[in-house]
Each structure stands twice: as structure tokens, then as C-alpha cells.
Amino acid sequence: MSRIISYRGLIADGGQDTINLHTNDGKTGYKIIKFQCMGPDSSEDIESAIKIYKVIQTAINDTIDFSDNHLLACSIISQSATSQTHAVDRAVIFDNEIFNQDIYVTTSGGDYSASINYYIELKQMDLALDEATVATLKDIRNNN
């Protein structure tokens, strides 16, 4: 069985939100199928990176490193209140990985930082015992 679940929130610059997904048996898996971000209103200049990680982050920044195996998704939003500097621009990339533990959303701004709204859709699926074991072991390895 699979179904689509969604999460949304407003996260302050430099903040981190936890999305609780873990289960006692680890037999519920998730995969990101949609990740969208937008500023809190149209009157703000914004330059921010919004990222989704498999592990809690101790340092929150706007650096995006695709070689980081903890990174599940990222989005960059650049918005000018007057559209003279730059129009609204967004780039979103997410991994096709299946995970079965909590995920963490962070945001950090560049020259113009602001709170950011995010919307995430996850495909929820039942995992066989071997799939759950592999996903859990990958998460344990990533946390160490």
C-alpha cells in the first residue's frame, strides 16, 4: 500500500524543523515526490537555501554540497520585492532515496534572509523486512 502525505511549515532563517516519520518497526518507508518553497509575502528581498536532511544539523548554512550523503533535497529561492534586482527564481532538486526515519528541514539566507514557507509531499509505502533493514542500517550509518 502506498499513499501521499504532506507537510508544510514556515521556518525562520537559520532554523530547523523536524518531521517525525520514524516507527517502532521501521517498516514504513518514504520518498520525496514534491518539494516547494516560497517567501512569506511578495514585499521581501530573499536569497535563501532550504534543505532537507536525513540527520539533525548542528551547523545551518546556505552551502549546498551534493556529495553530502545526508542531503535529501534542496531548494534555492531568490526574490526581489521590486523585481528590479531579480525576479522570483527557484531551483529545486531532490533525491529518489527511500528512507524510514525522521527528516530535518533547514533554511539559511544569503544577503537577504527571511522566513520561508515549505511544502513537502512524501510517498508513504510499506517496506518488506529486508527493505526496512537496509533503510534503517543506512540511517544508522549516516548518523555515526
The yes-or-no verdict on residue 41 having pLDDT over 80 is: yes
Q: What share of the chain is helix, strand, coil (3-state, %, to 5)?
A: 10, 45, 45
Helix (H, G, I), strand (E, B) or coil at 27: coil
Residue range 131-138: mean pLDDT, rounded: 76
| pLDDT for res 93 | 81
- Mean pLDDT to the nearest integer, 77-91: 67
pLDDT of residue 44: 78
Cell of 31: 520518498
Residue bearing the bigger pLDDT, 30 or 96? 30
User: Judging by beta carbons within 10 Å of its beta carbon (0-12, 13-18, 19+), is residue 68 exposed, middle or buried?
Assistant: middle
What are the chain's domains? 2-143 (2.60.120)
What is the pTM for the complete model shown? 0.87
Please check the confidence at residue 15 and state whether its pLDDT lies above 90.
yes
